[in-house]
Amino acid sequence: MKVKKFEAESMPKVMSQVKKEMGNDAVILNSKVVHRGGFLGLFKKKNIEVIAAIDPEDKLPKKQAWKMERRQEIAAPPSEQLPAFVSDQNQAVMTEIKALKKLMEKQQTSQTTSHPHPYQKFYDHLFEQEVTPELADELITKLKKNEESVPASIDGLKSIILHSLEAKERPLTFGGVDYNRKFLHFVGPTGVGKTTTIAKVAARAVLNDHKRVAFITTDTYRIAAIDQLKTYAKLLDIPIEVAYSLEDYMEARHKFANCDLVLLDTAGRNFRDPQYVYELSKLIDFRTSMETYLVLSLTSRYKDMQEIFDQFNDIPIRQLIFTKSDETSTYGSALNMLVHNKIGAAYITNGQNVPDDIQTASPQWIASRIAGEHYDV
């Protein structure tokens, strides 16, 4: 089955995209209104997002396809709620997939260490938060060992998670930019919101701390990315330079020598490819006084995050930045990354608004979200 997401400014336009790429046999799995962009609460754009699917080896009967096309023609969002059409055939497939996923998760849980009541309940909670079985076992074992001083409760679990992030034997650095380094370099895969995050950091520095800030971008693969950063630069009234080579980059650094903070954006390409990371090291001089931040989406799997992190063996990462916290209810991947790699976090972002949807990362935020609370710094 082929599943793809489409987006346009109106339902007729997005349905035209679906019909053009997938044909009349496409099935609409979900549709909703989404808001994109925005700066200082302005310029938000309302789009229609549709998830469509088609099975190329099992076409729907012509009569059913005609009904599908007719449904698409009359579909229109009455307000914020949009209709979702799911065929009986594909609904059965989706139900089967979900049942198989639950079965696999249950089997995986049964293979891990069991814990006495009520500790097994907390272990299951950590597992649902996608904390790795090894780390979950470690946390529950510590909770049991400290049962006299740490209660077997959500607060107790939160306390143990906090200890894992604040342990003296492996202290992790949390907190945002402290302006000790002038040049900050941001890397991350496509789609994590890296450019928007850079704009938020810049807006904080300009509006809150009254710093002189500049942008350098090496993302010459996407004209839209350059235009986006130029728009933010214009709104914040700060300079920007586009670097196509190491010489351009060094010249831009020299040009912005009098700035308090220079933020460097890079192309969000395939960091699983070692060749790209090598090319990046040729474009940017990491030997100079610079700090590098890796931007990762909390909607990503821990395994994918780790593969990306592992590619930066020759490029030291100062801290992680986690984005899209508003698009997920599981935060175990963040804890896995921090503890496994013994690295801290700088920021957590939770939306598209610049500069509002960003907050300084802290052990309390991570621990509270995983434990089940909603803690805001």
pLDDT of residue 374: 45
CA distance 348 to 76: 36
Shared domain check, 331 and 188: yes
C-alpha count within 13 angstroms, C-beta hemisphere, residue 340: 19
pLDDT tier at 38 (50, 70, 90 boundaries)? low
In-domain check, residue 175: no
Whole-model pTM: value is 0.67
Please indicate, yes or no, if residue 202 is contained in any of the structural domains.
Answer: yes
Helix axis angle, 302-310 to 332-341, nearest 10°: 30
* H-helix or E-strand spanning residue 58: none
For residues 193-198, give the mean pLDDT: 90
At residue 149, the pLDDT reads 65
pLDDT at position 191 is 83
Do 213 and 70 belong to one domain? no
* Residue 45 included in any domain: yes
pLDDT tens, position by position, 309-365:
988 777 788 999 999 999 988 999 999 999 999 999 999 998 888 888 899 999 999
Amino acid residing at 262: V
Count of domains forming the chain: 2
Phi-psi region of 179 (alpha: psi -120 to 50; beta: other; left: phi over 0): left
Residue 218 lies in a domain: yes
Radius of gyration of the chain (CA): 24
Of 121 and 255, more confident: 255
- Distance between CA atoms of 313 and 195, rounded to whole angstroms? 23
- The candidate with the shortest Cα–Cα distance to 337, out of 159, 188, 141, 223, is 188
Q: Is the residue at 162 inside a domain?
A: no
Q: In the structure, what pLDDT confidence band is assigned to residue 76 with cuts at 50, 70 and 90?
A: very low
C-alpha separations of 8 from 16, 48, 53, 351, 364 in Å: 10, 6, 17, 20, 39
Indicate whether 171 belongs to any domain.
Answer: no
Structure tokens belonging to residue 64: 């059913």
Residues 78 and 193 in one domain: no
Are residue 194 and residue 297 in the same domain, yes or no?
A: yes
What three-state secondary structure class fits 3? Answer: strand
Beta strands in 206-355 (DSSP E): 213-217, 240-242, 261-265, 290-297, 319-323, 345-349
| Residue 307 phi, psi (nearest 5) | -60, -40
Domain stops at, among 95, 124, 156: 95
190: domain range? 183-361
Residues 88 and 189 in one domain: no
Taking alpha carbons only, the member of 217, 222, 212 closest to residue 187 is 217
Cis-peptide, bond into residue 363, ω within 30° of zero: no
- The verdict on residue 31 lying in a domain is yes
- In this structure, is residue 234 part of a structural domain? yes
